[in-house]
Structure 1
Amino acid sequence: MKKFAVFGNPIAQSLSPSIHQMFAEQCGELITYSKILASEEGFAEAVHTFFSDPDAMGCNVTMPFKQQAYALAKVDDQAAQDAKVVNTLMRNHDGTLSGFNTDGIGLVNDLLNHGVTLTGARVLLIGAGGAARGVISPLLQAGVGALCITNRTVAKAERVAEETGSGQVSVIAPESCAEFKPTVIINSTAASLSGGLPLAMTSELLASCHTTYDMVYTATTTPFNEAAEKGGVPTTLDGLGMLVEQAAAAFAIWTGKQPATKAVLTALRKQITGA
């Protein structure tokens, strides 16, 4: 039986086992999929232990290990190279590991699934951590008209733009974001999980915005999207669809089979809302 896992810290909350089991049933694959809690200093050893099992085929990697995963793998995937972070590992026939980043394509696919036009869009990306790094290259490839990063520490945003944006990404201070006139605003921070906002959602900032996207998800509307709705933004999306879509991309890498995602997303939404 093919074995897969997700590594993280914390990891108990992960929905990945449920997602991949649904994919496996849909695609006729027999798998096991485990949650593995690793310490920051013990991540590499835990990964090697997992892959020492001859049935282990691949794993997902979540926070805070995505940069460590990049260092463990042979990386040919352009999105992972640009971001310098990996969220998907696959064992090759020779025992080496290949690394991929499916976060960005997961975000892009979820936006497109919801009818959001990215071609020519003016995208404001809030945050400059690993989550932001992973989506920049796929957003550029999707044909956005302009991509701008904002972050409380502007120097960090400038570093991310320089390392991942191929000269196509600009940086703006949080207090000046309204000047960018974004049509799509993406929150890559975890502010919503603690009930906060990553920046002030002013009427000036939201004036041209038709879509907000919060990369985290909660049982109810996230504070970020709630503020956007109050500001008149017509489309507000959370990160549950991104989670499903990035998982689908990883599943396809491991098995060569592309699962359908709509029914899986619907089932997960019911699971987290209790509906």
Structure 2
Amino acid sequence: MSAVRNKRPVQFMISGTTELLAIVGSPISQVKSPENFNAWFARHNKNASMIPIDLQRDSLDGFVDTLRAWRNLRGCVVTVPYKHEIAKRIDVLSERAQALACVNVIRREADGTLVGDMVDGDGFINAVRRHGFEPHGTRALIVGAGGAGSAIAWSLSENGVASLTLADLDTARAQRLGALLAARFPAVAMSLQFDSLDPFDLIVNASPAGMPGNDVLPIAEDRFATLRAGTLVADVVTTPEITRFLELARRAGCRIQTGAEMALAQFGNLGAFMNMTPLTA
């Protein structure tokens, strides 16, 4: 019997018939979406490609106008620091994107209408469940009340956490998010202060702390002495994959979840929103 050869994926060159996706942010070098999407396209012989765009802030208006006119563009993923700024410029927003005033994915309709949603929280929930963590009835701490942090807080509340503590260097931003979530999810106990890490079943860094050029801890190092072994500790930072925050948690005996895991776990949600189903990692 002859050996069965593995069928190698077709490698497409970008051409005039290629369907494009974009991901926009700055710095863009730390994102994982292009490699995840393009590997999937190659495996499934799709004539499509995702391109990364490192955009200057003063070009956002022109960029969004270009999205409306870009006829071979299926959609765009939005990453730091533009999730809030771009949301203001989108034509139609989902309920959660409108409530949180941020987007991380945009679909371009055939007539140029731009539709936005925020699926960071969905990806986060997908990822924690792969670790065997079920949010219902748990106590969570989120450091960072920006785009990713607000989306994660929304999804955790939607999935029935018992309590949610929010922390941010911008206290007013954390207060606004806490008030929004308290009104939308009254059964969830909201707090803006914590003295110890011991009460929490889940701790999330949803801030830029730990990214290249921002090598600080989101939580003071001396507080790690109060961390309970077995707590799930997660980071949204994708580069480096194991941040100092996660390394300290792992040394304390905690389970950890990387930003790359969250990015991969929302792959299908991003694809579904851009009508690219079935799209699984």
TM-score scaled by structure 2? Answer: 0.83
- Gap runs ≥5 in structure 2: 1-17
The Cα shift of 1:182 comes to 0.8
Aligned position for 1:239: 259
Q: Are 2:209 and 1:188 aligned?
A: no
Q: Secondary structure at the match of 1:72?
A: coil
- Gap runs ≥5 in structure 1: 262-275
Aligned position for 1:251: 271
4-13 or 194-203, larger mean C-alpha shift: 194-203
Per-residue Cα deviation, 1:3-39 (whole angstroms, up to 9, x for no partner)? 1111112223433221111232445532122112221
Aligned position for 2:90: 73
Q: What residue identity is the alignment partner of 1:223?
A: R
The Cα shift of 1:212 comes to 0.4
Percent identity of the aligned residues?
26
Per-residue Cα deviation, 1:239-271 (whole angstroms, up to 9, x for no partner)? 10111222321112113413222xxxxxxxxxx
Aligned position for 1:102: 119
The Cα shift of 1:115 comes to 1.3
Whether the aligned pair in 1 keeps the contact of 2:104 and 2:119 (CA below 8 Å) is yes
Q: Are 2:233 and 1:212 aligned?
A: yes
Instruction: Quote the Cα distance in structure 2 between the aligned partners of 1:2 and 1:48.
Output: 19
53-62 or 68-77, larger mean C-alpha shift: 68-77
Aligned position for 2:133: 116
| Larger helix proportion of the pair | 1
Alignment of 1:116-265 (within 5 A): 116-165=133-182, 166=184, 167=186, 168=188, 170-173=190-193, 176-178=194-196, 181-193=199-211, 194-201=214-221, 202=223, 205-207=226-228, 210-219=231-240, 221-233=242-254, 235-261=255-281
Instruction: Quote the Cα distance in structure 2 between the aligned partners of 1:131 and 1:107.
Output: 9
Instruction: Quote the Cα distance in structure 1 between the aligned partners of 2:30 and 2:225.
Output: 36
Q: Secondary structure at the match of 2:106?
A: strand
Q: Secondary structure at the match of 2:169?
A: coil
The Cα shift of 1:133 comes to 1.3
Change (3 A) 1:169 1:25: farther
Change (3 A) 1:69 1:206: same
Q: What residue identity is the alignment partner of 2:270?
A: A
Q: Secondary structure at the match of 1:5?
A: strand
Whether the aligned pair in 1 keeps the contact of 2:105 and 2:119 (CA below 8 Å) is yes
Q: What residue identity is the alignment partner of 2:252?
A: G
Instruction: Quote the Cα distance in structure 1 between the aligned partners of 2:31 and 2:242.
Output: 19
Q: Are 2:60 and 1:40 aligned?
A: no
Q: CA RMSD in A?
A: 2.2
The Cα shift of 1:85 comes to 0.4
Instruction: Quote the Cα distance in structure 2 between the aligned partners of 1:160 and 1:40.
Output: 24
Q: What residue identity is the alignment partner of 1:186?
A: V
Instruction: Quote the Cα distance in structure 2 between the aligned partners of 1:9 and 1:220.
Output: 18
Q: What residue identity is the alignment partner of 1:185?
A: I
Whether the aligned pair in 2 keeps the contact of 1:182 and 1:208 (CA below 8 Å) is no
TM-score scaled by structure 1? Answer: 0.84
**Structure with max Cα Rg:** 2
